[in-house]
Amino acid sequence: MAKAAVAVNGKKNPAGDTVLRVEDVDFSYGQIQVLFGISMDVYRGEALALVGTNGAGKSTLLRVIAGLDAPSAGSVTFDGHDITGARAERLAGQGLVMIPGGRAVFTDMTVAENLEMQSLSIRKQGAVLRERKERVLATFPRLAERLSQHAGTLSGGEQQQLALAKALMLDPKLLCVDELSLGLAPLVISELLDIVRQLNESGITLILVEQSLNIAAQLCSRAIFLEKGEVRFAGECAELLEQDDIARAVFFGGAVK
């Protein structure tokens, strides 16, 4: 049976246009298994939310996708190529980039030095790097005004902007973002969501790990809900918001019935 088309940026995206496929992925920390048979597709140009309770395996799944951890079973395919177990550095060069949770910046370095450090991992000519840096700073004018400022003295929202800017230096096709909104004020979150929405509209595919269903729904058209390392729901964000048992699990820590 053919898969239905998926809405991407307000348009129908053919289900065959898959940029990432995860099939039957397991993952264990030592003897403790935390992911159980995870399967999911991510469609080119969409914004997909990974949501769930604390400890559900959201960040672990993102790390497996981005090459920071290798699955104990199953496979991951990116842009038609099997990348199971590939290192994160190689995947970043192919356009699969992850922003880990927390503030993914070098706090003792300036904004300019953070961007230059990211450039060291790119085997590109100087003209290409200069063009990327100009494009990145045009996207983040606040950072352009703070190039000589140490990253550790930036506000939380500005540090998240710098983390996004560093990721954009790698020219991602697929950007995986872990807990963009963690610890930030609502106004700052709104500003970051506007930026990330613009990145998605420019053609970058997004996977966003989020604790807040409301934040996920503002940015993403589809969501996958994880509980205890398993997929409990996959579908439209609007439909997810109508699932009272899932909302209760997220906000109050209960189990999905």
CATH tag for 6-103+172-252 (out of 3.40.50.300, 1.10.10.10, 3.40.50.12160, 3.40.50.11540): 3.40.50.300
Token digits for 109?
A: 């370095």
**Token couple for 219:** 């940015």
Locate 195 and state its tokens.
């930026």
Residue 121: predicted pLDDT: 65
Structure confidence at residue 212 (pLDDT): 85
Q: Find how far residue 40's CA is from the centre of its chain.
A: 15
Distance, CA of 178 to CA of 196 (rounded, Å): 13
Q: Give the model's pLDDT for residue 246.
A: 74
- Please compute Rg for the chain using Cα positions: 18
What are the per-10-residue average pLDDT scores of the chain (257 residues)? 44 66 98 98 97 92 97 97 96 94 89 87 71 93 97 96 95 95 90 95 96 89 95 92 74 54
Provide the residue ranges of all domains of the chain, joining segments of one domain with +.
6-103+172-252
Beta-strand runs (E) in 53-95? 73-78, 81-82
pTM to 2 decimal places: 0.88
Closest CA to 196 of 169, 159, 164, 170: 164
pLDDT value of position 211: 84
- The pLDDT of residue 241 is 84
Comparing CA positions, the residue from 177, 220, 101 lying closest to residue 241 is 220
Phi and psi at 112, nearest 5°, equal: -60, -40
Rounded to an integer, what distance in angstroms lies between the CA atom of residue 51 and that of residue 71? 20
